[in-house]
A and B are shown apart, each in its own frame.
Chain A
Amino acid sequence: MGMNIAEKILAKAAGKPRVVPGEIAVVEVGTAVLTDMNFLPASWRQILKMHDPRKVVVVLDHLVPANEPLSAAAHTAARAFVKRFGIERFHDVGRDQGISHVVVADNAYALPGTVMVNPDSHTCGGGAFNCAARGVGLPETIFAVTTGKSWFRIGECIRYELQGKPRPGVSAKDVFLHIAGKWGAHVNQNVEYGGPGLANLSLNARRTLAIMGTELSAEFVIFEPDEAMLAYVRARNPAPFEPAAPDPDAVYKERRPLALDTIEPLVALPDTIVNNSVRVAEVAGQKIDQAFIGSCANGTLDDFAVAAKVVAGRRVAPGVRLIVTPGSQAIYRDALAAGYVAILAEAGAVVTSATCGACVGGHMGVLGPGEVCITASTRNFKGRMGDPSARIYMASPATVAASALAGRIASAAEFFAGDLA
């Protein structure tokens, strides 16, 4: 019996010929990432010995530039830590700034066929690069940083067999909302994406889909390797790696065909994501106070391109705030060069520097009591983006941008009507 991708990567990292669901594998960790939140005094534990500083990446992301003295203190602690252990891959406020999962993608730190850990729950975004990447919490990451190891309980795997191509105006976020609406949570399960439709998803689209796997409560979310992905990684990271493809006789709990061309734009209603998706038409007309495009899921250059296409030559509705936050300063520079930032700013959007910001209710777009927001980010939980009485709808960047223009939830279909399928 063969192995699926997650099993292959974990078996190799455990130094074993094979692993099976239910088993606990103790593995070598290829890369461990820490973020600014981990250095808050309430959380951080002082590390005395490190396994290997070359395997560690430190990224300031949730609250950058610092929004209050406490986050500034966390940043100071992170800088001292990086200096003490001689960590070279450090992303401070400035040119290399970004959200950890985006910085990991920009620089191809998540290597195909390897294991990556980060306290943060959206780490599975690294799976777009065929990496077994998993959010493990701070104690486990400190364990990995100090010992070089971690453990995983091998889960059963659901494989999505992608076919066809999303229709114009339909994004990876809609694909995710379709999966979350139709199949619900994937607790204790791995998710594998592959099939002929993979070629029709850009790497940015795959990253959105991989990041959002967290909201399915999946363990690992891993994509099959293809030439486009491998070329991207090789161009950015000289380290050697060996991608993992599934065995032809790999075992899955279920294989689910997913016809990308049948998916339509969706919106998740407030408070929970799974089993909560409706067609845009069902909520169209709901008045909004804020529209947000950003986060590790939707702060890519593709997302900027779509938002700019929708708002070009138009104005954000009076009384509505459209906030657009790139995933990294590298993406910000690319969006500037492509003219997207100018188009968005002219339309009345506020384009911020790269940070988690509004996604985590931290700064630059926190919601007040009773406000309504439509967001292209990761979570719509009660209280997530500010006051617990605020209501958060979740959709694609196209739907969010179209809603910002209308001042109410609206379909973006008209902006893509002329596009070729």
Chain B
Amino acid sequence: MISGKVWKFGDDINTDLMLPGAVMSKTEAEQARAVFAANRPGWIDQMKPGDVLVAGRNFGMGSNRPASRSLRNIGIGFLLAESINGLFFRNSVNFGFVAVECPGCFAAFEEGDTAELDLDRWKVVNPRTGATLAPPPVPDQLMSLMRGGGVYPMLERQGLIAPRA
């Protein structure tokens, strides 16, 4: 079971907001500093590693930029959203960021609540209210990538790409 303090975001949160074009060519550390700078200035200094996101519909809409990597790098424990954009979900699998579609989550949590996610039983709990949700399970083959650091470590082990210098 993993748990963390909830930050809430609405519908249609796009990847430009998580990884603005202005820092696209910068280092991962500089990109991480810019997460949600346009829609929630100052948030990056308030959040702490281990905190989690609860969001509305179509989270991660937009471009293919590695926004999941930035969320992973700032230490977001996991994301629950009413629905997740397909490309963002794929990048989350491939960058090893735990992103779970969980219908009903937006209403079940308030900002500051604790969210608990049990990936073995596919159960989400709000201990404050007792609300329990059952997100549809992510298939095992994708889940092992998502929890195992993503696709790059696997390709490194297979000798298909070089380890990062």
A-B CB pair tally, cutoff 8 Å: 123
Q: A42-B28, A139-B95, A384-B16 are in contact. Are A121 and B160 (CB under 8 A)?
A: no
Q: In whole angstroms, how far apart are the Cα atoms of A120 and B150 in the complex? A: 19
The interface centre, meaning the residue of B20, B85, B86 with most chain A CB atoms within 10 A of its CB, is B86
A28 at the interface (CB under 8 A from B): no
Are A49 and B27 neighbours in the complex by a CB distance under 8 Å?
no
Q: A70-B25, A138-B66, A187-B86 are in contact. Are A381 and B16 (CB under 8 A)?
A: yes
Are B155 and A382 neighbours in the complex by a CB distance under 8 Å?
no
Are A45 and B90 neighbours in the complex by a CB distance under 8 Å?
no
Q: In whole angstroms, how far apart are the Cα atoms of A272 and B10 in the complex? A: 13
A142 at the interface (CB under 8 A from B): yes
Q: Report the minimal beta-carbon distance from B144 to chain A, rounded to whole angstroms.
A: 13
A60 at the interface (CB under 8 A from B): no
Q: Contact size class for B?
A: 35 or more
CB-based nearest A residue for B162: A46
Q: In whole angstroms, how far apart are the Cα atoms of A203 and B35 in the complex? A: 39
Main secondary structure of the interface of A (DSSP, over half): loop
The digit string for A57-81, where 1 denotes a CB below 8 A from any CB of B, is: 0000000000010110010000000
Q: Report the minimal beta-carbon distance from A149 to chain B, rounded to whole angstroms.
A: 12
Q: In whole angstroms, how far apart are the Cα atoms of A163 and B155 in the complex? A: 48
Residues in B with CB closer than 8 Å to A219 are: 86
Q: In whole angstroms, how far apart are the Cα atoms of A140 and B160 in the complex? A: 13
Give the number of chain A interface residues (Cβ < 8 Å): 46
Complex partner residue of B63 from A121, A139, A153, A388, CB under 8 angstroms: A121
Q: In whole angstroms, how far apart are the Cα atoms of A138 and B91 in the complex? A: 8
B133 at the interface (CB under 8 A from A): no
CB-based nearest A residue for B91: A137
The digit string for B80-100, where 1 denotes a CB below 8 A from any CB of A, is: 000111110011001100000
B17 at the interface (CB under 8 A from A): yes
Residues in B with CB closer than 8 Å to A74 are: 25
Are B151 and A143 neighbours in the complex by a CB distance under 8 Å?
yes
Are B66 and A382 neighbours in the complex by a CB distance under 8 Å?
no
Q: In whole angstroms, how far apart are the Cα atoms of A83 and B91 in the complex? A: 28
The digit string for A183-214, where 1 denotes a CB below 8 A from any CB of B, is: 00101100000000000000000000000000
Complex partner residue of B57 from A121, A135, A185, CB under 8 angstroms: A185
A–B pairs, 14, beta carbons within 8 Å? A37-B24, A42-B24, A42-B31, A47-B162, A121-B63, A135-B64, A140-B91, A142-B152, A151-B142, A217-B61, A272-B12, A381-B17, A382-B16, A383-B20
3 nearest CB pairs, A to B: A139-B94, A146-B160, A46-B162
